[in-house]
Structure 1
Amino acid sequence: MHVIQVNNDGKSPYDLFVAEAPRPETPAGHVLIRVSHAGVNRPDILQRIGAYPPPVGASPILGLEVSGTIESLNLSDEEARLLGWTLGDKVCALTNGGGYAEFVSVDARHLLPIPKGLTMAEAATLPEVSLTVYANMIEGGGLKAGETVLIHGGNSGIGSMAIQMAKGFGAKVITTVRGADKCARVAAFGADLVIDAGAGDFVEAVKAYGGADVVIDIVGGDYTDRNLICLKPKGRMVQVGVGAGAKVALDLFRVMQKQLTLTGSTLRPRSADEKARLSHAVRDQVWPLIDAGQIKTVVEKAFSLDKAGEAHAWLEAGQHVGKVVLKIGG
């Protein structure tokens, strides 16, 4: 089968190239998916450059989410009965690596149905980002209806999903982007206030709005202490990414005085059981919002598998609004 491999040190997106590899084995409890599309995400870039190595036992091939068709199953009768998947089902899935390939083996508990009316390209953008946002914003951040959340990078895959999920759960949303053109496009996701962070500091605008109960941050760096200023008493800051740096300085007195909670997480290192739990929760609580049209997928651009390097370059340029995918199969 065709897969994407990394040449040299991976520092350039064009170090990605198409290679041949055997189909992956399908262990007990897994299904083999013939991949239609694969989502392209920031963790893929980090893995390519050596900053986010795969966990022990995971596929070294890039790609954390796919859509496709079930090619084969290795399930017990009880697993097949409980999960309900059959040969030929069209699915999307969270993978533990291996998505940039014609076939990928996936824990059957991590499969999700294709939401109503979505294309395979659109469905491939959902699993990794929806589980990440749900785990961090709804569970980790404890966002509730009527509260206000500040979401940085509203144009990103994480940001666009977080805005819509927060609105679907009844929260108010403030988001930051860079550039007036992005402000207009991101406003369409339903944010109550869109701030152009490239035109000035976001802190005063957030404070004027009344502050935030939760902050979802993919930036880190010097955003960190400013996020604490934006939080209301007993607010929660959730770190989902560190695009501007993981080493930060912050005012701990502010944390103490305002009784703030600082947390964060990544998805890939979680256990298979934990990912299964999250997949079930997302299917139960988020998929109905997608089926109802309250959460819309945004595929900014689709690239063929042999253009994976161009896909990474496009994502690294930061001009996208929504998600980038690779078209691999039919």
Structure 2
Amino acid sequence: MGDKTLKYARIIATGSALPERVVTNADLEKLVETSDEWIRTRTGIRERRVSNAEETTGELGYRAALQALERAGVKASDLDLIVVGTTTPDIIFPSTACLIQHRLGANGCAAFDVNAACSGFVYALGVADKFIRSGQTRKALVIGAETLTRMVDWNERETCVLFGDGAGAVVLEASDEPGILATCMHADGGYKDLLYNPVGVSAGFKDEPNHGVRINMSGREVFKVAVKTLDSLVGETLAAAGMHESDIDWLIPHQANLRIIEATAKRLKMSMDRVIVTVDKHANTSSGSVPLALDEAVCSGKVQRGQNLLLEAFGGGFTWASALLRY
């Protein structure tokens, strides 16, 4: 594990937040030419949460953070760092992390966003881990929060069925006990055209309703690259931690598609009984999916202290990332 004097970044509490509104596959049948069976068999999704005007990314992130801090027994003023993984910030600047920081009363600590699409939370976790292991940070708040339905074209059946809104958070602290054992992060911008949003500030902005914001995705091609990439990522992460497939107690993957999740579990020779699946209830919440799944696994009693968890995600960019940790 390198320098033995370095402390581990250990998760001491989790939290989550979801919009109130539930949109089922049956609801979508009234909007586009699709069916519950078509959606379920291809994605595993049954329903998703859709935010209202007040439920911004920052609002959901704040609620998840507040819950995590309360469970951790940590005051916001004790935080040294806040990192928010998101691709749907409230505004361009200040960062959503700064907005959440102020609402929490953590003013003064470092706070910034990380945009790695669906890998955002795992990227943010990797960044916070390095800050803690360097000795610069003792307590950190890491959030994954998204309101992707804001950019969904509800007339396009290939994409509108896939996404939902939500947020999850974890509180990390420096510890002598094992915590995060290894993190791996990668990206390849060469795949940009397979999954992207064409609208930005210095390019693509249009003076029209919704500014032309929409998600462009080549689903079949994304699926192929995701399965192949996550397969190699698993091996790399295990090697970095000096562990084997059999050492992993739980797989907590990005919740985008049940078929991709099943393919990753097969690579690990893991039964689906040891995989946390929330895609059926939440759909793809991008940066929110991994922390939401982690929080549900902890709250349900499935994940226990001392167990080894493999977190992994794949998103637009393409980006892919993992974290192997002892809970």
Q: Which has the higher helix share?
A: 2
TM (norm. structure 1) is 0.26
TM-score of the aligned structures, taking structure 2 as reference length: 0.26
The higher relative CO (CA closer than 8 Å, separation ≥ 6) is in 2
Greater radius of gyration (CA): 1
